Amino acid sequence: MSKKNTLIKNASILMIASIISRIIGLIYRRPLGAVLGSVGLGYYGYASNLYSILLLISSYSIPMAVSKIVSERLALKQYKNAHKVFKGALLYAVLVGGVTALVAFFGGGILLPANQQNAVPALQVLAPTIFLSAILGVFRGYFQAHHTMTPTSISQIAEQIVNAVVSVLAAWILIKNLAPAGGTDAAVYGAMGGTLGTGAGVLTGLLFMLFVFVLNRPVFGRQTARDRHRREESYGEVFQIIFFMVTPIIFTTFINNASNYLDSYIYSSVQGMHGIAADSISAAYGEFSNYYLPIINIPLAMASASASALMPEVSSRYATGSMKEANRQINQTIRLTMFICIPATVGLTVLAFPIMGVLFPSATVLASRLLMAGALYVIFTALATITGSVLQSIGKQKVALINAGIALVVNLIVLTILLLIFPQMDIYGVMLANILFSVIYCVMNGVALRKYLGHRNELRKTYVEPLVASALMGAVAAAVYYGLFHLTRRPFISLVIAVLVAVLAYLVLYVIVSRTTEEEMLRFPMGSKLVKVLRMIKVYR
């Protein structure tokens, strides 16, 4: 496979794995929601949000940092230095992951809102997972730097399968044996069981990556033996490089993702000031965090996968001075991501109610309205993810950090004002603030990329053509679903057929609107299969 196709191949592998993982995660939310109830889901959501923040500090950014640093050395054939970075990153992960796990276990009562202390036990169950995730992140980043995405992809799927099974079973067993009468105790123990599955999943992923590493150890050894680079970096230099690379990425990633935790804290506190009951606040936030966000995160998984695949590619090109090729790869990745995320946004908007009703029967109408109004979050967050990753890959971590910081401050100010003045906005205020954050962040990143790389977006091909095709597809999807539902009164069958028709309609409309040739379509993920389908329906002849 040519170097030009390597990025698409790697992005496709990660995309498929991410989509499968997110779908598994989405499916198990349904039985988990039935076991926990809205209040239990709220406790689970608060604990998971804080866990996510602590995970950002210890491990979330490690795969990106390791991937960037190691890929730069591999591009220069400095194999010994690349392996030293790997070992140094492992030590960093053990230290930072261990300390952060202790903070989660002993500091949950301080870090969680005062009126949501019932989420503390669930957070304590999650604490060891932070330590394991830090180590897992190093292995994933190391393999990504070698342009090998398959181990990471398989480990993600295995992690999510184990997570899904253990979460539901553990929650059910704990409630049945420790809180059979139900009530608050059942919600607390159920949330603890749900978080236990997260740890089991991460442990499974780590064991798989260790197995793959042992299998590939002879290959890495031969690379190191061939290294003729004379200057070998000391461990002191390696730790310094890791620290100065990881720290800005940690802060940037922290800010990118801290909005969920901070938004939940502000939402709970301000609505509590208005006299709204804690259980009502927890239930509304449970709908937002456990029904709306998991669905939104499915198309966003593709953006994260693209960013992960793009980072080592751009780092390598930037290290060797190939700016034109770096810009080509950036445009290719953004175009691919928008090709998927724009129709996903339209589809989630027009089919919000049937999607939520089929996936989560226990969800209230609130979750459906959130999905319909907030699907736009997908497009801007996808762009923010990719552009932020590019800035980090070219050594402009501080720029990405400043951009994210400005977006976060605006987000928090707007959310606080909205809830203080219009408390009736309730959880919709959190949704709007999240969208505002992603808009500001992606726009500022775009300006920075133009400044440092001379990057320019291909507006027509990247945005206009997918948007036109998606708008027409949305009309087709709505007509098919509501027409079939009127005839059959079966939402599941109507939704499945509507989605399949919508996918085919979008593909045809996109080719017609963009005049994409067979050769161009072959460059897309699963391009040969797409071309085969288009030939069958006579779009290509």
Which residues 6+ apart lie within 8 Å of 237 measured at CB? none
Write down the pLDDT at residue 214: 92
For residue 459, pLDDT beyond 50: yes
Question: Is 76 or 280 the better-scoring residue by pLDDT?
Answer: 280
Average pLDDT of the chain to the nearest whole number: 86
Same domain, 438 and 475: no
**Do residues 57 and 199 share a domain?**
yes
Q: Is the pLDDT of residue 427 over 90?
A: yes
Higher-pLDDT residue of 521 and 161 is 161
- pLDDT average, residue stretch 65-88: 83
What pLDDT, on the 0 to 100 scale, is given for residue 256? 66
pLDDT score, position 189: 92
User: Do residues 474 and 429 share a domain?
Assistant: no
Same domain? For 325 and 177 the reply is yes
**Is residue 482 domain-shared with residue 447, that is, in the same domain?**
no
User: pLDDT confidence of 4, banded at 50, 70, 90?
Assistant: very low
Residues 253 and 343 in one domain: yes
Tokens of 336: 């691919």
pLDDT of 323 > 50? The answer is yes
The two tokens of residue 248 are 């800005």
Rounded to whole angstroms, what are the CA distances from 221 to 69, 106, 215, 218, 476? 19, 41, 11, 5, 56
Q: Residue 496 CB: number of other CB atoms within 10 A? A: 14
pLDDT of residue 308: 65
The amino acid at 189: Y
Neighbours of 370 (CB within 10 A): 25
Rounded to the nearest 5 percent, the helix, strand and coil shares of the chain are: 90, 0, 10
Name which residue leads in pLDDT, 156 or 14: 156
Is the pLDDT at 77 greater than 70? The verdict is yes
- Of all residues in the chain, the percent with pLDDT exceeding 90 is 40
Give the residue, 45 or 309, on which the prediction is more confident. 45
Q: What does the pLDDT look like over 182-191, one tens digit per residue?
A: 788 898 999 9
The average pLDDT across 421-450 equals 93
Q: What is the tens place of the pLDDT at every residue in 439-451?
A: 999 999 999 999 8
Query: How would residue 1 be classed by pLDDT, with cut points 50, 70 and 90?
Result: very low
pLDDT band at 499 (very low <50, low <70, confident <90, very high): very high
Residue 257 clears pLDDT 80, i.e. is over it: no
Residue 39 has pLDDT above 60, yes or no: yes
Average pLDDT over residues 215-235: 80
pLDDT for 2: 46
DSSP string, 325-348: HHHHHHHHHHHHHHHHHHHHHHHH
Q: Do residues 409 and 494 both lie within one domain? A: no
Question: pLDDT (tens digit, 9 = 90+) per residue, 347-386?
Answer: 999 999 999 999 888 788 999 999 999 999 999 999 998 8
Q: What's the Rg (C-alpha) of the chain?
A: 23
pLDDT for 158 beyond 80: yes
Q: Domain boundary residue among 440, 457, 474?
A: 457
Q: pLDDT confidence of 458, banded at 50, 70, 90?
A: confident
Q: What is the pTM of this model?
A: 0.73
Is the domain of 134 the same as that of 163? yes
Percent of the chain with pLDDT over 70: 94
> Residue 248: what pLDDT?
73
Average pLDDT over residues 388-393: 82
Residue 9's pLDDT is 66
Same domain membership, residue 524 and residue 402: no
- DSSP code per residue over 87-122: HHHHHHHHHHHHHHHHHHHHHHHHHS-GGGGGGHHH
> pLDDT category, 197, cuts 50, 70, 90?
very high
List of long-range contacts for 406-410, beta carbons under 8 Å, 24+ apart: 406/440, 406/444, 407/255, 407/436, 407/437, 407/438, 407/440, 407/441, 407/444, 408/255, 408/258, 408/259, 408/262, 408/437, 410/436, 410/437, 410/440
pLDDT of residue 236: 83
85 and 161 co-located in one domain:
yes
**Same domain, residue pair 135 and 254:** yes
The whole-angstrom separation of Cα 377 and Cα 87 is 38
Please determine, for residue 11, whether its predicted confidence score (pLDDT) is greater than 80.
no
pLDDT: which is higher, 314 or 330: 330
Q: How many domains does the chain have?
A: 2
Q: Are 309 and 282 in contact (CB under 8 A)?
A: no
Q: According to the model, what pLDDT value does residue 196 have? A: 93
State the residue for tokens 């992923």. Answer: 205
Domain final position from 401, 436, 457: 457
Indicate the residue among 457, 473, 494 that finishes a domain.
Answer: 457
For residue 5, pLDDT beyond 60: no
pLDDT for 533 beyond 50: yes
d(CA 439, CA 403): 11
Most confident of 83-97, 190-204, 280-294: 190-204
Selection from 206, 36, 204, 56 nearest residue 122 by Cα: 36
The parent domain of residue 530 ranges over: 465-541
* DSSP designation for 423: G
- Same domain for 259 and 380, yes or no, is yes
User: Is residue 131 over pLDDT 90?
Assistant: yes
Residues near 540 by Cβ (< 8 Å), separated by ≥ 6? 511, 518, 521, 531, 534
Higher pLDDT: 220 or 199? It is: 199
